[in-house]
């Protein structure tokens, strides 16, 4: 499963599908009864039938909305799984994800418990990805030692990063220089 989807986003169980099928079947029967009652001029009974119709329609509409939300949450999570940085600009998300207003949907899905490991930084207009060691297992990130101070840090392969401890420049590749510098400092 995705690093950003929760277990709430899953396929519907068989019993849930049976229940929804029953609701749809009852909708058809109630509609037929309402039409029959209206033909007979029994308006009060037809109104009562309409209330039953609305009662059986609610779970169906609710399920349709949940399925739409689940599909959108999966689209967002799929997009975020391909992001190699720790954050992405909100404007870029709005342009890249093919659903209406994805940033506000992310906020809604976090509240509903559909998405996790995401923080919305409204001050800096960033979507911050909080999943730990996201790409370590896939080999995108490597652990290197700073050649200046020897601190261990994770860096994206092929990228340049500033050391958090001493401000030195780090290259995103395991090199003999990085290893030798640490060995010389450590001796």
Cα(157)–Cα(139) distance, integer angstroms: 8
113 and 77 in a common domain: yes
**In terms of C-beta density within 10 A (0-12 exposed, 13-18 middle, 19 or more buried), how is residue 95 classed?**
exposed
Q: For the segment 80-122, what is each residue's pLDDT rounded down to a tens digit?
A: 887 777 888 999 888 888 888 999 999 999 999 899 888 898 9
Q: For the segment 123-168, what is each residue's pLDDT rounded down to a tens digit?
A: 889 888 887 644 545 566 677 888 888 887 767 677 777 776 787 8
Domain that holds residue 155: 141-186
Structural domains in the chain (count)? 2
* CB contact set of 13 (below 8 Å; sequence gap of 6+): none
Domain end (from 129, 155, 178): 129
> pTM above the 0.85 mark?
no
Cα(65)–Cα(111) distance, integer angstroms: 16
94 and 166 in a common domain: no
Cα(45)–Cα(61) distance, integer angstroms: 24
93 and 35 in a common domain: yes
25 and 83 in a common domain: yes
């Amino acid at each position: 499963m995705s690093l950003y989807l929760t277990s709430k986003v899953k396929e519907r169980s068989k019993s849930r599908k049976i229940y929804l099928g029953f609701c749809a079947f009852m909708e058809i029967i109630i509609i037929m009864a309402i039409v029959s009652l209206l033909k007979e001029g029994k308006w009060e009974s037809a109104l009562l039938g309409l209330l039953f119709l609305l009662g059986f329609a609610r779970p169906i509409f609710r399920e349709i909305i949940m399925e739409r939300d689940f599909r959108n949450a999966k689209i967002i999570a799929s997009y975020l799984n391909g992001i190699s940085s720790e954050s992405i600009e909100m404007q870029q998300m709005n342009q890249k994800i093919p659903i209406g207003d994805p940033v506000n949907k992310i906020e809604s899905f976090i509240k509903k418990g559909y998405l996790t490991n995401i923080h919305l930084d409204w001050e800096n207009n960033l979507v911050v990805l909080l999943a730990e060691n996201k790409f370590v297992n896939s080999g995108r990130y490597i652990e290197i030692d700073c050649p200046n101070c020897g601190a261990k840090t994770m860096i994206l392969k092929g990228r340049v990063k500033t050391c958090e401890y001493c401000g030195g420049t780090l290259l995103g590749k395991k090199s003999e220089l990085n290893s030798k510098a640490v060995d010389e400092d450590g001796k």
